[in-house]
């Protein structure tokens, strides 16, 4: 067993190897402050026949014992991963995936298991460095050393691995990963910060990353690991040249420049199929069918390389993109509002051949999502969900639940808006936005950001600003590089960078970047951010033209919500034993009622008059009976000596026959009568008189007789009746 300890970023870092999971190809036990993960890497020693991609799987396993909790639910053990765990898995995957050799097609599994966790330690970010270290000390081929850092900004000071308290005051919350040479991944959110602040944050992040990498390099130097050899297939040069001779680059370029994704894809497929058909016709006898079928996958790679080079040189040398746009040009955009009837808010955002239908639903406070993970235990009142059906790209695929990509795209769009959502006190509704991707040819997540903003304003949510997003790309060819605005799907696939920036007119709200090369320097980053700002402002202008401010009124299909505050000591009076009273309120008025620990009561329902009645009833429950005050009461019980009148919910007083103008028998249960409180013994025992009634003057009272005892007994009976009428309190 080996271990290394170091003080870094004001906390203790301990790394161990050789104590746990010794049968894994590589394992690291990493403890930062009070958080510990076991990072294991394993791979099959041979690739499956026919595999022509990297079968890498990364899992972040959250364990509730890590935070001293037992999982909720019936089963009481961890089940399917939470969205936070899936996002953490993606966070680890993205920086390490490009560093495996191109021809390495063995199955690889990376698992980060959380043994203990303090949220301040950002242990999911440390999993990036742990994965890099475990892979480097394993026999699995891996080209490079990477690390990640979480960064905040408070009062102009950048902080590495900020605590949760610090993040609550921070202008930014980003996770950055990279090598010694360059940044390769960014993910995070911000409170409308400038492009200059973001560049400075990335520079600060890179310095911190280098510190973590230097620790890794010290550890790696103590190991002498023999890496598996990557078999690079060798082919007769003539075999490749025969195939290349059939690719007419002029015809291929013409197919690349065809307008429209479907037409372009059709022409490109026809050309590619024709090349392979010609090869089979002309050279199959020369190379034999068996040899050809064995090496066909390499010919496909050769074709893709030629196609990739052709597209990239067209952009770099001739400033020609696949759809004819200039490098800084945005595709045509249309914004439509209120396109779906009955839903609370809707918007259709179309940019070129990418289309997102954003639909907003407003729910009651009870509709919040209860989040219970090792990262958080909270009620989430703003949700944004992203759906990517197969028809959006004209494909046929089984319909499954949301995959990691869908969860990641939805999370990015949600982060873009979450810091601008009105507070619960300002707007008590639970908000859910769903983005249905109807067409996709590049940056559907950024289209989602735009459609969500438009649909929320259409729903009448009091947003102060629109948020828009745009995806930037990058092409490196030899000593030249070109930054692309609003990239197509093909430019994302064959380019070197996918760089997404969202924000308002005032600044950046979210940020995501994945880079396939280690050449992105500060100058390129500044250019990309400046171009992204120009594009974002153009998109925002079009969105403000469509709807400049939230609709003044909510849809009639939105539930009505009203809020009151009651004394904390009266909460139990509204809830009742076993929730009996609050259930009765909801059943009687067809409402939903929630009460928090501070006495804030929210009542929601489709009928406003019923909500008002429920509010009135609750107000009555917690109100105090006041002497001298006149109430409109309802007769609940009739006796010979008087009637019991309910003046507030659950509070009835005695209106004695001597204090009313009619005989009790002339009144019926549920009759309404105005009464005045004339005396209070307690909130459950008080006397009433009919409003405006004046007792007639009576002769002097005679001296007591033997019947006085009976009168006293009658008084006791009245007292007991009053107590009985008010629940025996």
The pLDDT tens digits for 650-708 are 889 999 999 999 999 899 999 999 999 999 888 778 999 999 888 877 666 656 555 55
Is 442 buried (19+), middle (13-18) or exposed (0-12) by CB count in 10 A?
A: buried
Predicted local confidence at residue 454, as pLDDT: 98
Mean pLDDT of 451-465: 97
Radius of gyration of the chain (CA): 35
For residue 417, give the nearest of 437, 432, 402, 407 by alpha carbon: 432
Residue 719 has pLDDT above 60, yes or no: no
Q: β-pairing, 430-439 with 2-8?
A: unpaired
What are the residues facing 355 on neighbouring strands? Answer: 350, 439
- Percent pLDDT > 90 in the chain is 75
Predicted local confidence at residue 726, as pLDDT: 61
Exposure on the CB side of residue 723, measured as CA atoms within 13 A: 9
Predicted local confidence at residue 698, as pLDDT: 64
Q: ∠ at Cα 172 (215, 415), nearest 5°?
A: 110
Mean pLDDT of 217-238: 89
Round to whole Å and give the CA distance between 406 and 399.
13
Predicted local confidence at residue 318, as pLDDT: 86
For residue 641, give the nearest of 703, 581, 710, 589 by alpha carbon: 710
Predicted local confidence at residue 1, as pLDDT: 86
Residue 235 has pLDDT above 90, yes or no: no
Round to whole Å and give the CA distance between 620 and 422.
31
Count other C-beta atoms under 10 Å from residue 210's C-beta: 15
Mean pLDDT of 169-186: 95
| Residue listed under structure tokens 């005679």 | 702
Predicted local confidence at residue 703, as pLDDT: 60
Predicted local confidence at residue 673, as pLDDT: 92
Is 120 labelled a binding residue? no
Q: How far is CA 679 from CA 427, 507, 649, in A?
A: 43, 64, 19
Mean pLDDT of 388-404: 91
Is 270 buried (19+), middle (13-18) or exposed (0-12) by CB count in 10 A?
A: exposed
Mean pLDDT of 421-430: 93
Residue 722 has pLDDT above 60, yes or no: no
Backbone angles phi, psi at 485, to 5 degrees: -100, 135
Predicted local confidence at residue 721, as pLDDT: 60
State how far Cα 379 lies from the chain centre: 12
Confidence of residue 48 (pLDDT cuts 50, 70, 90): confident
Q: β-pairing, 11-17 with 2-8?
A: antiparallel
Round to whole Å and give the CA distance between 212 and 146.
9
Predicted local confidence at residue 729, as pLDDT: 42
Q: Which two tokens stand for residue 638?
A: 């009739």
| Residue listed under structure tokens 């392979």 | 276
The pLDDT tens digits for 265-324 are 999 999 999 999 999 988 888 888 888 888 888 888 899 999 999 999 999 988 889 988
Is 498 labelled a binding residue? yes
Confidence of residue 376 (pLDDT cuts 50, 70, 90): confident
Predicted local confidence at residue 612, as pLDDT: 94
Query: For the chain, what's the residue count?
Result: 729
What are the residues facing 633 on neighbouring strands? Answer: 673
Predicted local confidence at residue 687, as pLDDT: 93
The more confident residue out of 180 and 232 is 180
State how far Cα 264 lies from the chain centre: 35
Q: Strand, helix or coil at 573?
A: helix
Q: Strand, helix or coil at 146?
A: coil
The pLDDT tens digits for 77-92 are 988 899 999 999 999 9
| Residue listed under structure tokens 């298991």 | 113
DSSP string, 398-456: ---S--HHHHHHHHHHHHHHHTTSPPTTT---EEEEEEEEEE-SS-HHHHHHHHHHHHH
Mean of pLDDT over the chain: 91
- Percent pLDDT > 70 in the chain is 95
| Residue listed under structure tokens 């459950």 | 684
Predicted local confidence at residue 420, as pLDDT: 97
Residue 22 has pLDDT above 70, yes or no: yes
């Amino acid at each position: 067993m080996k271990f290394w300890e170091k003080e870094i970023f004001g906390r203790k870092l301990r790394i161990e190897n050789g104590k746990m999971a010794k049968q894994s190809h590589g394992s690291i036990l990493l403890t930062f402050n009070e958080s510990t993960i076991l990072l294991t890497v394993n791979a099959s020693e041979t690739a499956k026949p026919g595999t022509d991609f990297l079968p890498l799987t990364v899992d972040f396993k959250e364990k509730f014992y890590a935070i001293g909790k037992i999982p909720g639910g019936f089963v009481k053990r961890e089940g399917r991963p939470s969205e936070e765990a899936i996002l953490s898995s993606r966070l680890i995957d993205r920086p390490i995936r490009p560093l495996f050799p191109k021809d390495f097609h063995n199955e690889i599994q990376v698992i980060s298991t959380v043994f203990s966790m303090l949220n301040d330690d950002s242990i999911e970010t440390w999993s990036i460095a742990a994965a890099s270290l475990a892979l480097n000390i394993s026999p699995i081929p891996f080209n490079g050393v990477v690390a990640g850092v979480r960064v905040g900004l408070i009062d102009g000071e950048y902080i590495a691995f900020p605590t949760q308290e610090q993040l609550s005051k921070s202008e930014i919350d980003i996770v950055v990963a990279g090598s010694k040479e360059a940044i390769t991944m960014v993910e995070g959110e911000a409170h409308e910060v400038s492009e200059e602040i973001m560049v400075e944050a990335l520079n600060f992040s890179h310095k911190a990353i280098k510190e973590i990498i230097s620790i890794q390099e010290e550890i790696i130097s103590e190991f002498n690991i023999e890496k598996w050899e990557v078999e690079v297939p060798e082919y007769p040069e003539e075999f490749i040249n025969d195939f290349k001779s059939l690719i007419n680059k002029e015809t291929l370029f013409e197919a690349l420049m065809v307008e429209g994704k479907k037409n372009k894809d059709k022409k490109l497929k026809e050309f590619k199929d024709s090349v392979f058909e010609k090869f089979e016709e002309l050279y199959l006898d020369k190379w034999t069918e068996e040899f050809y079928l064995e090496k066909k996958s390499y010919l496909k790679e050769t074709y893709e390389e030629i196609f990739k080079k052709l597209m990239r040189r067209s952009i770099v040398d001739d400033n020609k993109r696949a759809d004819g746009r200039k490098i800084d040009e945005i595709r045509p955009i249309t914004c439509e509002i209120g396109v779906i009837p009955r839903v609370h808010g809707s918007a259709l955002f179309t940019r070129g051949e990418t289309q997102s239908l954003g639909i907003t639903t407003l729910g009651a406070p009870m509709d919040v999502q209860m989040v219970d993970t090792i990262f958080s235990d909270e009620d989430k009142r703003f949700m944004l969900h992203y759906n990517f059906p197969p028809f959006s790209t004209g494909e046929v695929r089984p319909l499954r639940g949301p995959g990691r990509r869908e969860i990641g795209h939805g999370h990015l769009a949600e982060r873009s808006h979450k810091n601008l959502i009105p507070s619960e006190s300002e707007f008590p509704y639970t908000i859910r936005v769903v983005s249905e991707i109807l067409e996709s040819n590049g940056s559907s997540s950024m289209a989602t950001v735009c459609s969500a903003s438009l649909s929320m304003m259409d729903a009448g949510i009091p947003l102060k600003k629109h948020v828009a997003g745009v995806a930037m790309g990058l092409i490196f060819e030899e000593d030249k590089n070109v930054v692309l605005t609003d990239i197509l799907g093909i430019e994302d696939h064959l380019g070197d960078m996918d760089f997404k920036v969202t924000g308002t007119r005032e600044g950046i709200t979210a940020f995501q970047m994945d880079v396939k090369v280690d050449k992105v320097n500060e100058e390129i980053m500044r250019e990309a951010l400046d171009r992204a700002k120009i594009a974002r402002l153009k998109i925002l202008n079009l969105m403000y033209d469509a709807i400049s401010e939230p609709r003044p009124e909510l849809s009639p299909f939105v539930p009505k919500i009203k809020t009151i505050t009651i004394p904390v000591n009266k909460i139990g009076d509204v809830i009742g034993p076993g929730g009996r009273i609050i259930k009765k309120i909801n059943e009687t008025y067809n409402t939903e009622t929630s009460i928090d620990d501070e006495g804030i009561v929210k009542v929601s329902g489709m009928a406003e008059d019923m909500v008002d009645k429920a509010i009135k009833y609750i107000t009555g429950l917690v109100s105090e009976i006041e002497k001298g005050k006149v109430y409109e009461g309802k007769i609940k019980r009739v006796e010979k000596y008087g009637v019991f009148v309910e003046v507030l919910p659950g509070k009835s007083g005695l209106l004695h026959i001597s204090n009313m103008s009619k005989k009790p028998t002339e009144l019926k249960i549920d009759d309404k009568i105005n009464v005045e409180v004339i005396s209070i013994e307690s909130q459950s025992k008080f006397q009433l008189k009919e409003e405006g009634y004046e007792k007639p003057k009576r002769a002097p009272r005679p001296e007591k007789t033997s019947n006085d005892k009976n009168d006293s007994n009658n008084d006791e009976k009245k007292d007991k009746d009053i107590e009985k009428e008010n629940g025996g309190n």
